[in-house]
Amino acid sequence: MLKFLFNGLLRDKSRSLLPVIIVTVGVMITVFLHAYLTGVLTDSIEVSAKLTTGHVKVTTYGYEQNSSQQPNEFAMDDVEQLVEELNRDYPDIEWAERILFGGLLDAPDSTGATRAQGNVSGAGVRLIGSDAEIERMDLQTKLFSGRFPEQPGEILMSNDLFVRMKLAPGDVVTLISSSMYGDMAMYNFTVCGTLHFGVAALDKGMIIADIADIRRALYMEGAAGEVLGFFPEYYDDELGLQLQTEFNSARLDKEDAYSLVLTPMSKAEGIDFLISYSNYAGLVVILIFVFAMSIVLWNAGLLGGLRRYGEFGLRLAIGETKHEAYASLVGEAVLIGLIGSVIGTAFGLLLSYLMQHYGLDASSMIKDSTLMMPTVFRARITPETYFIGFIPGVLSTVIGAMLAGIGIYKRQTAHLFKELEA
Amino acid sequence: MKRLLSWVVLVPLTILSTAQQFPTGKSLIEKVDKNMSANTRISLSRMEITTSRGNRTLEAKTWTEGDEKSFTEYLAPAREKGTKMLKTDEQLWIFSPSTDRVIQISGHMLRQSVMGSDLSYEDMMNDTPLLEQYAATVDAVEIRDGRNCWVVTLTAVKPDVGYYMQKMWIDQERYIPLQIEMYSKSGKLLKKIEMTDVKRIQGRWFPMTMVYRDMLKKGGGTRMTFLELQLDAALPDGIFTKSSLR
C-alpha cells in the first residue's frame, strides 16, 4: 500500500510537488526560527545569569525577600566556609561570591571639596588573582579604556559616567554607600579603567571593583550578599528546581532572616518571564506554522481535489469505499509531510548551523537597550531542532488533506456514472 | 422627655467644660520649647544601636547652638573615631578620616541612617520650629511612666514636612515630651521616641535617655544616653565652620 501511494506521488508530480515545496519551506522556517529563538533566548538568559543572577543563587532569606534593594544588612557571614561546603556538596557547579550595592561616587577638586557626583550601582567581584569572573562576565569585550584592577583600591566604572564626571584615568574617587550595619561608609578608589556594556541601565552608572576592596569599603569582612552558582553549560531549570528543593529543605528556616536560601534562576525577579517564554517559544512557533501551513495546504488540497474530482469519482464507481479513498488521501499527505519535513529540516539545520557558527552582530542595533541581551545573535541547535519541524510538517499536510478530503464523503454513488458521462 | 432633654443639654456642656480645661496645643509646645531649648549645648552621649545583625555602641561629643547649628565628633568605636559631622542652617557635612574627605550629605543620602541607627540625617536636619510646621491640638490626658501627660496631636500645615502627623505625650508638670510618635499621611506609624531618666539640669528638665525606633526596621531601636550635658556653655570659636572638620 505504502509503495503504491509512493509510486502514485512520484508519477503524478502535480499531486506532490507543490505540497512538498510548501512543507519544505514551512519546515525550514520552523526549524530555523526555533533554533534562532532558542539561541537568542538562551544567550539572553546566560547573559543575565553571568552578570546578575547566576544559574542558582544562595543568599540569606532576608536578602532574598528584599533582593531588589540589595539589602547588605542581610549579607551572609563566613562566606569562605560556605563556598567550601557548596563546592563539596555540588562539585559540578562553579560558585562565585558577589556583593551588589548602590551609592554615590564623589570626585574631589584640588582642595578636596566635591567637584562632581554621580549615582552608581556597583558590584564587588573577584577581579584580582583570578580571571574566572572577567571571562564569565565577558568583561574583556566590555573594557572601553584602561585596564582591569591589579592593585587593591582600583575600580572600573562605566565610560558614560566617567565622561559625565569629567574624570581622567588614575583619578581618585570616593564611594559613599551603606555598610553591612546600615551606616554610611566612605572609601577611596583609583579609576583604572572604563567599561561599555551596551545596556543603558548599566552604562548609566555601573562600577565594578575587586570583592576584597568592596568588603573593606562596606565593612563586610568575610561576608557577601550573594553566592552565585553556574552550571557547567546552559541553565537547566529541572536541575535548578531540584537543587532548590534539596538545599532549602536542609537550610531554609523562614523564621530566621539569616538562614540560607537557594533560588534558581527561573524564580529570580525579572528573569522568570524570560525562562517561561523560552520554554514555550518552540510551541508558539510550531502552533503558528501548523496553523498557517494547514490553511495553505488545505487550499492546495482543495485545488488538487478539484483536479482529481474525476479520479475519485471513478474509484468510488468501481467499488472503492469512501473510507479507503479518504485513507489513501491522508496516507499520501503523511508521505508528503514526511518527505517535505526531511528536506525542510535539512535546509533549516544548514541555515541554523550557519547562524550558530557566524552569528549576527547586533551591537549597533541594541546599543542603548534596556534589556541584558547578547550583542551577537546566534542560533542554537538542540536535539529538539532535529525533529521539531516534523510536527508542523506532517500535522499541517494531514490536517490540510483531511479538510480537503471531506468532499469525498459528499459524493453520491448513484450520481457517479452520470457525472462521469458528463 | 425631661430626662432626654437634660442629656441633650448636659452632655455637650460637660464635654465643653472638659475641653476648656485643656491648654491650647500652641501654648504647650511653646512651654516645651522654653524648657528644653538652650542657646548652646555641649553633650557627651552614648548611642547603643540594636540591629538584626547585632549591637553597636558609639560615643560622640556634640556642640550645639540653637536648633540650627551642631558639630559632632565620634570618639568610639575605633572604626568611627575621628568621623565628624557639621550641620549648619541648611547643610550637612561629614568628614571621614579614612578617606580624608569632607562630603556634603544631600538629596536621597539624607534619608540614610546616621551610623546605622534608627535616626536618619533628615531627622537631624529638621530644625524648623514645630509650630511653623504643624498645627497642635490637645486631645486627651493619659498616663505615661506614672506621670500625667497631655496628648498633643501635631498635623502638618506645610507640604514638605518629614512626618505628616506627630503625637506627643507631654508631662503636665515638667513640660517635656515623654513619648513621640511620628506618622505618615496614610496613618502608618514610622518612628517612635521614648524619653526617660528625666533630670533637672541647670534649672531645666531634660530626658537623659531617648530610645528611637524606626518602625520600618526590624532592629531593636537606638538608645541614646547623655553621659554629660552642659547647657548655655561657651562654645569654641569657629567650631561651626568646615575647617573644623579636618
Strand (E) positions, chain B?
40-51, 54-65, 69-76, 84-87, 92-96, 101-105, 134-144, 147-156, 165-171, 177-183, 189-201, 204-214, 221-231
Q: Which of A206, A230, A254 is the last residue of a domain?
A: A230
pLDDT grade, residue B3 (50/70/90)? low
- Does B2 or A345 have the greater pLDDT score? A345
B111 reaches A (C-beta below 8 A): no
Mean pLDDT value of segment A77-81: 94
* H helix or E strand, kind and range, residue A106: strand A94-108
Closest-CA distance of chain B to residue A188, Å: 6
B101 reaches A (C-beta below 8 A): yes
DSSP character for B23? Answer: P
Q: Give pLDDT, residue B13.
A: 43
Q: Give pLDDT, residue A419.
A: 61
> Chain A residues with CB-CB distance to B under 8 A?
62, 73-74, 104, 106, 108, 112-114, 174, 176, 178-184, 186-188, 219, 257-258
B218 reaches A (C-beta below 8 A): yes
In a domain, A246, yes or no: no
Contacts of B118 in chain A (CB under 8 A): none
Q: Are residues A20 and A67 in the same domain?
A: no
- CA A403 to chain centroid, in Å, comes to 37
- Taking an 8 Å cut-off on Cβ atoms, the answer to whether B117 and A183 are in contact is yes
Q: Which residue of A has its CA nearest to B116?
A: A183
Which range among A208-212, A309-313, A393-397, B122-126 has the greatest average pLDDT?
Answer: A208-212
3-class secondary-structure state, position A199: strand
How far apart are the C-alpha atoms of B201 and A20, rounded to whole Å? 100
3-class secondary-structure state, position A203: helix
- In tens, the pLDDT along B15-51 reads 444 444 788 999 998 888 888 878 899 999 999 999 8
- Taking an 8 Å cut-off on Cβ atoms, the answer to whether B115 and A184 are in contact is yes
- State the best of A65, A73, A121, A175 to mutate against chain B, taking most chain B CBs within 10 Å: A73
Q: Are residues A103 and A148 in the same domain?
A: yes
Cell of B79: 572604626
- Taking an 8 Å cut-off on Cβ atoms, the answer to whether A187 and B98 are in contact is yes
Q: Which residue of A has its CA nearest to B49?
A: A181
Q: Give the residue from A104, A72, A328, A68 showing the smallest Cα distance to A205.
A: A104
- CA B64 to chain centroid, in Å, comes to 14
pLDDT grade, residue A169 (50/70/90)? very high
The shortest CB-CB distance from A186 to any of B52, B103, B114 is to: B103
How far apart are the C-alpha atoms of A416 and A87, rounded to whole Å? 79
Q: Are residues A216 and A289 in the same domain?
A: no
How far apart are the C-alpha atoms of B82 and B73, rounded to whole Å? 6
- Taking an 8 Å cut-off on Cβ atoms, the answer to whether B113 and A219 are in contact is no
- State the best of B57, B100, B109, B214 to mutate against chain A, taking most chain A CBs within 10 Å: B109
pLDDT grade, residue B8 (50/70/90)? very low
Q: Pairing relation of β-strands A206-210 and B134-144?
A: unpaired
In a domain, A71, yes or no: yes
Contacts of A186 in chain B (CB under 8 A): 94, 96, 98-99, 101, 103
Q: Give pLDDT, residue A155.
A: 96
pLDDT grade, residue A390 (50/70/90)? confident
In a domain, A260, yes or no: no
Per cent of chain B over pLDDT 90 is 46
B57 reaches A (C-beta below 8 A): no
Q: Are residues A222 and A179 in the same domain?
A: yes
3-class secondary-structure state, position B246: coil
B51 reaches A (C-beta below 8 A): yes
Q: Which residue of A has its CA nearest to B113?
A: A183
Q: Which residue has the cell 547586533?
A: A362
Q: Are residues A290 and A226 in the same domain?
A: no
Contacts of A188 in chain B (CB under 8 A): 98-99, 101
Q: Give pLDDT, residue A421.
A: 64
B90 reaches A (C-beta below 8 A): no
Mean pLDDT value of segment B103-107: 81
DSSP A340-406: HHHHHHHHHHHHHHHHHHH-EE-TTTTTTBSS---SEE-----HHHHHHTHHHHHHHHHHHHHHHTH
Q: Are residues A22 and A117 in the same domain?
A: no
In a domain, A365, yes or no: yes
Q: Which residue has the cell 504643624?
A: B134
3-class secondary-structure state, position B154: strand
pLDDT greater than 90 at residue A372: no
Per cent of chain A over pLDDT 90 is 43
In a domain, A36, yes or no: yes
pLDDT grade, residue B11 (50/70/90)? very low
Give the bridge partners for A154, in sequence order: A190
- Assigned CATH for B25-245: 2.50.20.10
In a domain, A253, yes or no: no
What is the domain count for chain A?
A: 2
Q: Are residues A29 and A66 in the same domain?
A: no
Q: Which residue of B has its CA nearest to A116?
A: B103
The shortest CB-CB distance from B51 to any of A108, A181, A186 is to: A181
**What are the residues whose beta carbons fall under 8 Å from the beta carbon of B243, sequence distance 6 or more?**
none
Closest-CA distance of chain B to residue A37, Å: 42
A149, A155 Cβ separation under 8 angstroms? yes
In a domain, A244, yes or no: no
Closest-CA distance of chain A to residue B116, Å: 4
Per cent of chain A over pLDDT 70 is 89
B56 reaches A (C-beta below 8 A): yes
A13, A363 Cβ separation under 8 angstroms? no
Q: Give pLDDT, residue B124.
A: 72
- Taking an 8 Å cut-off on Cβ atoms, the answer to whether B104 and A219 are in contact is no
- Taking an 8 Å cut-off on Cβ atoms, the answer to whether B101 and A181 are in contact is no
Cell of B129: 520650629
Contacts of A257 in chain B (CB under 8 A): 52, 218
Q: Are residues A217 and A70 in the same domain?
A: yes
- Taking an 8 Å cut-off on Cβ atoms, the answer to whether B98 and A73 are in contact is no
The number of beta carbons lying within 10 Å of the beta carbon of residue B234 is 8
**What are the residues whose beta carbons fall under 8 Å from the beta carbon of B201, sequence distance 6 or more?**
B229, B231
- In tens, the pLDDT along B159-210 reads 878 899 999 999 999 999 999 999 999 999 999 999 999 999 888 899 999 9
Q: Which residue of B has its CA nearest to A105?
A: B103
How far apart are the C-alpha atoms of A119 and A102, rounded to whole Å? 8
Size of interface A-B (CB pairs under 8 A): 60
Q: Are residues A297 and A362 in the same domain?
A: yes
- Taking an 8 Å cut-off on Cβ atoms, the answer to whether A182 and B116 are in contact is yes
Q: Are residues A86 and A38 in the same domain?
A: no
Cell of A395: 500535522
Mean pLDDT value of segment A189-197: 94
Q: Give pLDDT, residue B187.
A: 93
* H helix or E strand, kind and range, residue A288: helix A272-307
B217, B195 Cβ separation under 8 angstroms? no
pLDDT grade, residue A4 (50/70/90)? low
How far apart are the C-alpha atoms of A91 and A14, rounded to whole Å? 61
Closest-CA distance of chain A to residue B114, Å: 6
- Taking an 8 Å cut-off on Cβ atoms, the answer to whether B218 and A106 are in contact is no
Go through A287-304 and write b for each residue having 16 or more CB atoms within 10 A of its CB, e for each that does not. eebbeebbebbbebbbeb
The parent domain of residue A175 ranges over: 56-230
Q: Give pLDDT, residue B5.
A: 47
Q: Which residue of A has its CA nearest to B218?
A: A257
Q: Which of A281-285, B59-63, B76-80 has the lowest mean pLDDT?
A: A281-285
Q: Are residues A195 and A72 in the same domain?
A: yes
- Taking an 8 Å cut-off on Cβ atoms, the answer to whether A184 and B109 are in contact is yes
**What are the residues whose beta carbons fall under 8 Å from the beta carbon of A414, sequence distance 6 or more?**
none
Q: Which of A91-95, A273-277, B115-119 has the lowest mean pLDDT?
A: A273-277
